[in-house]
Amino acid sequence: MGSNQAAVSFLTNVARAAFGLGVGATVVNSALYTVDGGQRAVLFDRFRGVIDDTVGEGTHFLVPWLQKPYIFDIRTRPHTFSSISGTKDLQMVNLTLRVLSRPEVARLPQIFKTLGLEYDEKVLPSIGNEVLKAVVAQFNADQLLTERPHVSALVRESLIRRAKDFNIVLDDVAITHLSYGLEFSRAVEAKQVAQQEAERSKFVVAKTEQERRAAIIRAQGESEAAKLISDATASAGMGLIELRRIEASREVANTLARSPNVSYLPGGKNMLFGLNPR
């Protein structure tokens, strides 16, 4: 009987010890938090509010229930958003902007107070659209292509300055896509067609002018040749013409003689063909 009481007492003590260890482990675990690499923490105290100091990487202690950590990712992250803006000549342009942003570490408590954990999603699209509309309105539609580096530089400078007001650092800003509205695209296509037609008309005019000059030169050559023949005929009589006629006849005779499909029949009225006298 005494051994049973001792066993029960021992088990009770073990259970109490295990319970105490469990409670202690729970308390210790709730009093610890870890900040991973590329992160920072902001502590909220129920009595003092947001503590102004930023907590770095590693494992840290806090007062359970009284304090709560909020983790921020301070690594550079990409964000992409589009905006439809009007140009100086009232054309609509669709722009896509990509930015690489990160929070200003020393100002994380202020960011948490004013914007919260999703600070970038709340700020960047709004200021990005604002800056794009303000910059694009300073240029005509065609200047956005011809002066694209200048436009990108203005967007970058303006956006970095605006983001700094919200304690956000922009490492890079780039215009990744630019397209025009349907009306402007049709106008550009019509202009290109008109330019091609103008070039074609210039070519036709130049060709006609060359043909006219060639005809004039040809007529002048024929006139000079006729004059030379006339002068030669006047000085030498009809002998030159007879000589040319004989030469032409000779060429015709040589051509006919070389052709196998031509036969020569002597002239005369008393020719008999295929007659066998008996």
Q: Are 129 and 94 in contact (CB under 8 A)?
A: no
Shared domain for 132 and 169, answered yes or no, is: yes
Residue range 49-65, pLDDT digits in tens: 999 999 999 999 888 88
Q: Which residue type is seen at 244? A: R
121: domain CATH number is 3.30.479.30
Shared domain for 39 and 97, answered yes or no, is: no
Residue 129's pLDDT is what?
Answer: 93
Shared domain for 174 and 187, answered yes or no, is: no
> Per the domain annotation, does 4 fall within a domain?
no
Residue 74's pLDDT is what?
Answer: 94
Shared domain for 124 and 51, answered yes or no, is: no
> Per the domain annotation, does 8 fall within a domain?
no
Secondary structure class of 36 (helix, strand, coil): coil
> Per the domain annotation, does 12 fall within a domain?
no
Residues of the chain with pLDDT under 70: 1-4, 6-11, 13-29, 185, 187-188, 232-241, 243, 261-278
The Cα–Cα gap between 127 and 160 comes to 10
Residue range 79-133, pLDDT digits in tens: 998 988 889 888 889 999 999 999 999 999 999 999 999 999 999 999 999 999 9
Residue 272's pLDDT is what?
Answer: 47
Residue 250's pLDDT is what?
Answer: 79
> Per the domain annotation, does 194 fall within a domain?
yes
Name the residue range of residue 221's domain.
Answer: 181-235
Domain's final residue, options 179, 205, 224: 179
Shared domain for 60 and 83, answered yes or no, is: no
Shared domain for 187 and 220, answered yes or no, is: yes
Residue 275's pLDDT is what?
Answer: 46
Q: Are 123 and 163 in contact (CB under 8 A)?
A: yes
Shared domain for 41 and 132, answered yes or no, is: no
Domain's final residue, options 20, 53, 72: 72
Q: How many domains does the chain have?
A: 3
Structure tokens at 250: 């000779």
Shared domain for 164 and 202, answered yes or no, is: no
> Per the domain annotation, does 240 fall within a domain?
no
Sequence length of the chain is 278
**pTM to 2 decimal places:** 0.62
Cα dist from 201 to 130, 194, 211, 220, 248, whole Å: 47, 10, 15, 29, 46
> Per the domain annotation, does 209 fall within a domain?
yes
Who's near 23: CB < 8 A, 6+ residues apart? none
> Per the domain annotation, does 62 fall within a domain?
yes
Shared domain for 125 and 102, answered yes or no, is: yes
The Cα–Cα gap between 48 and 179 comes to 52
Q: Please report which helix (H) or strand (E) contains residue 271, including its range.
A: none
Shared domain for 159 and 225, answered yes or no, is: no
Residue 268's pLDDT is what?
Answer: 52
> Per the domain annotation, does 99 fall within a domain?
yes
Shared domain for 230 and 190, answered yes or no, is: yes
Shared domain for 43 and 120, answered yes or no, is: no
Domain's final residue, options 179, 203, 220: 179
The Cα–Cα gap between 8 and 92 comes to 85
